[in-house]
Structure 1
Amino acid sequence: MFSPLFYLVSLICFTSNVLVRSLNDEGLSLLSFKQSITEDPEGSLRNWNSLDETPCSWNGITCKQEKVTSLSIPKKGLKGFLPKGLEPLSSLRHVNLRNNGFYGGLPVELFSSQSLQSLVLNGNMFSGVLSNEIGKLKYLQTLDLSQNSIEGAIPISLIQCKRLKTLYLSRNNFTGSLPVGFGSGLVALERLDLSFNRFNGSIPSDLGELSSLQGTVDLSHNGFSGEIPPSLGNHPEKVYIDLSYNNLSGRIPQNGALENRGPTAFIGNPELCGPPLRNPCSSDTPGASSPSSFPFVPENNPPLTLGNNGSSNGKRRGLSKNTVVAIVVSDIVGICLIGLIFSYCYWRLWVCSCKKGKGGDDGKGRKDCFCFRKDESGTLSDNVEHYDLVPLDAEVGFDLDELLKASAFVLGKSGIGIMYKVVLEDGLTLAVRRLGEGGSQRYKEFQTEVEAIGKIRHPNIVTLRAYYWSIDEKLLIYDYISNGNLEAAIHGRTGTISLTPLSWSIRLRIIKGIGRGLAYLHEFSPKKYVHGDLKPNNILLAHDMEPHISDFGLGRLANIAGGFPMLQSDRLPSEKKEQHSAPSEVVINNSSALNPDSCYQAPEALKVVKPSQKWDVYSFGVILLEMVSGRSPMVQVGTTEMNLVQWIEYCIEEKSPLADVLDPFLAREPEREEDIVTVLRIALACVQTTPERRPSMKHICETLIRLNASTV
């Protein structure tokens, strides 16, 4: 029989044990959050247990020195509201609840953590107004409230968040004008998206003071009125400012970031005038300097052509002295501009290095390994998120685990990343491009771009099937085209002596296929795209020699991913070929010490940042010259080296016979001479120096269709 003293001691010990194991204040605060959740379909909060001492082991919670620093539960189907009583989370730095079903207002207590650096709540159903208390977040760098139903004006206190770098408020019900000092106050702002709201009033002129802005500044689909502040042009040309679908009026300023833009950035503003819109400014329009506000675009003129005897059937007009001076001056200015751009850009090369024992060099056909991994943590660390493999096609039947387990062979390495041939266990062969490990803050922009590219479906364009994004890797998964590229088909593979020449019927098949693919991008794709970097080594050939245009949109994606800084918004610099990196499947032609890839660039590409469809037409013309002549893009004439276009012009001036221009293998098919000359004339039209004189790809395709070839 136990004495009363024993019971007293036992009770004291038991009580002490309970007190030792009681949950701290941060855990209790998070439990109140859990109690506000009405639906948790994936059981994301299953291990949030009141018997724990701290919440640091709970799903979605990250701690540092036993203090909660991150609450990250994205895309889990949670439904509920944010409760009050979050004040104990005083060390909270990151909150990420994106793409759930949270509703109701944003409690004031959410802004009580002075350490908060990122608040990501996009893709929910939050409503109400944004509290003025947000100005207390002195360390806030990322605020993403897009795709909710928040209303009212932006609180003026927001401009006190001097460290704010990313501000995404798109697709809400915000109203009113932007706060006074918006531009001059948010000095660190890099990303700005205010689209699809109900903002009104004039665009503040101090937006031009946001010197750190990058990518797209989206003010579209609002009610902004008045004239476009010329100060917006203070931003560099790489910044794209979208002002479409507002109530703006007056003449479009032509400077900096507003110059040389397409009409897409300004459409939906009936009162705007001047280039690039086809709405001329009247003489009384403020800022209008001439009756005509857009340039006259002439029709395509007949190109300078070769007759069957090689002589020119047209006259060459000399340039006036003033014209020559203007061209020289513009070239000097363009060269200076390129020099400045190069001085601010850097090149990075991501090289895949594998741990000892996981990959080895066994010679010509060596197998290389993937150097990417899947992060299972699901937590937000240093404001970086992790994502899974995202299919862009309903027929994609593999997942990330299958991809990681697959056999992988390096197809080539370059400044834009590494390309692998990947064979899955079921035999499916894919091409995977690894973009690198940078750009952790630009997932939304990458997602929008890659999903748009993934919608492109054409038999002459390589299909993008899926993508993967994480802090460690950015991967693009394509169909694998097995018969090499056009460069190898014309000039032979590196390291091989034999070359099987292409018949004219096969060449014409390839020419027509490339033309159809480009015409689709230019005329029939959802956004009338520009490839921007067309050349023979990114035209892949199937076993039936049908061409497939690859690397479409790659420059833009690489720029967003951060693995390769771009000199131009959508155009790739020439890729650097790596030694010892290419097995037998790699095709690299290095016919000149000079960079042959630059031969495919239109002359205006060095002066204009935004690519145009005429760039692609010029590149297509150079490819036609290469296929007709069989020559490399750089041609040696005596002691002089010139590009292919210069060489053709030299042959015309010298009245060389047609046989000296054509590939000797084509001389064996004299019955095809008429078609060959027609293609040569098309090529000459495509490489006109003046972009407006080049024909459209649609017109080129209509001409090519009329050519007859028995096997085409």
Structure 2
Amino acid sequence: MLPFFALFFFLLCCNSLAPVVYSLNAEGSVLLTLKQTLTDPQGSMSNWNSFDENPCSWNGITCKDQTVVSISIPKRKLYGSLPSSLGSLSQLRHINFRNNKLFGNLPPRLFQAQGLQSMVLYGNSLSGSVPTEIQNLRYLQALDLSQNFFNGSLPAGIVQCKRLKTLILSQNNFTGPLPDGFGTGLSSLERLDLSYNHFNGSIPSDLGNLSSLQGTVDLSNNYFSGSIPASLGNLPEKVYIDLTYNNLNGPIPQNGALMNRGPTAFIGNPGLCGPPLKNSCASDTSSANSPSSFPFIPDNYSPQGTGNGSMGSEKNKGLSKGAVVGIVVGDIIGICLLGLLFSFCYSRVCGFNQDLDENDVSKGKKGRKECFCFRKDDSEVLSDNNVEQYDLVPLDSHVNFDLDELLKASAFVLGKSGIGIMYKVVLEDGLALAVRRLGEGGSQRFKEFQTEVEAIGKLRHPNIATLRAYYWSVDEKLLIYDYVPNGSLATAIHGKAGLDTFVPLSWSYRLKIMKGTAKGLLYLHEFSPKKYVHGDLKPSNILLGQNMEPHISDFGVGRLANIAGGSPTLQSNRVAAEKLQGRQKSLSNEVTSNVLGNGYMAPEAMKVVKPSQKWDVYSYGVILLEIITGRSSIVLVGNSEMDLVQWIQLCIEEKKPLLEVLDPYLGEDADREEEIIGVLKIAMACVHSSPEKRPTMRHVLDALDKLTISSD
């Protein structure tokens, strides 16, 4: 019996020491089905296993209250199809499988997850039509199916997704017309891209109802036909409407958002006519006779006098000679009377105030009458030199702080330049701002300053630093921006003196910065109210946000500094460039630091006073070269200096291998060689010595978008 009790005791002890084994919940089992369906060469799902109680700790999975709400596994070369069982995740809100190698159809059961808010699947090989069950996704806000092989028409039920803000379907094989009620049903849309498909039929007139749209509405490279609806002019004026390469015809409406657009928005439609295209409409008469061209005409009007009007046909043929003479004489008499009235007002009324003697003036007395005929408003009577502005002026409705809060806040110097000192200011509530102080004294052209600063304050783009408010006084001028936390691109590439730690940028981040900067410049060049030129683009004024997204800063600051009494930035840059040019010719042995930031100016800037958009393109090209090589815009070669563009050209001539040109920190990204070479080609096109041969920023951005891996 003793051996039996010993064995029983041993088994009892082992059982008490054994760990508790949990079984994986139902959601985890669904996700394991996904793992079994896909090939995962990079091991992104390596910690997905059945021994866990739930999947909330797994890579790419986000939970709320122990329930799966997000699956995000982008850019991991996942290969396979999506299982329909994913639709059983009842609380699923976000799906992101962008830039993988998924194929097959979208399973209709996937749309049983009716709480989905975003579905991002671009950059795969998915095909088939979009299931009609998409109409169940009443909370859907973002749908990006671009760069796949989807076909068929867009399901009519998509207009039931009334919360949809982003719809990107570009580079697929969609066909057919857009669903009825597209513009009415999707009134929350902020971004719309249908380019590079086979959509046909007419452009729905209710697209003009999409009042929340931003950026570019891209309908290009499709088969849309018929005329351009005039209602598209109702879209926000800052929206760029790209209708290129369709089958549209007829005159281009000249209203609202369709006005003042260059021909690039309409090319590739041989049937279109009228401005801004050079080909005029075939018959002015026919266009003039269209119903929309006529003003309102009362029913009882008869051009031949045969209607209900009292005048006969002979009298309606034109005015008699005597009537014309009478009208002319009447006009002359009227002008003379107005002149006499003006003289009377000035001499009898306005002139009265000039009779005051100096004693009256010194005592503060005023005339008994005022010049009421043509007097100006009191605010206009003040000259610019007398204007004082002693309060903070907000430039949008989101500014909820005042001058007192700003002056009491903690301030830290971020940097100094020829156009003032930049501070980081932290308010009591924790809000961080960037404040540029333009300096004291100087020219007091307040109205000119006000006009410029308010125009800059209207610019709104994710890749442009946002000017929130300003302050003007005789002794102080301040510009208040959103604070951008991750420093400048210059520091991100080269590090900062005195800092021991330096985390180099990966190629993916560099590509993201390139594209974001290109988008910001494109906005300034084409979508801003005056089609601006930055004129001083360089890495030190490209700031990096929380997620390393770029924000172009210092736009218009040189101009404001000039008005406020500072030194002209453009002129100082030109002088520095002249010094640099002379130094290169003499092959001086010295390295002068004060010219290192001026290798971004286009060659023609030495001769032409007025900046052009092609200046910005050149500067952008130099920045691309700097991002690729990790070198500054001025390169020390032996005992001499040359600008980065010349150095790259020399490397190309000498056929140096890419690794000798590449930033050493990009060694781990050597497998991205095709992309790097692609960017290098774009950069060399941007820095072409002839401005006419440089691409526009739109073409630059299109070229970057064609690179295989997106940085967005």
Give the TM-score normalised by structure 1. Answer: 0.49
Point out which structure has higher relative CO (alpha carbons under 8 A, 6+ apart): 1
Structure with higher Rg: it is: 2
More helix by share: 2
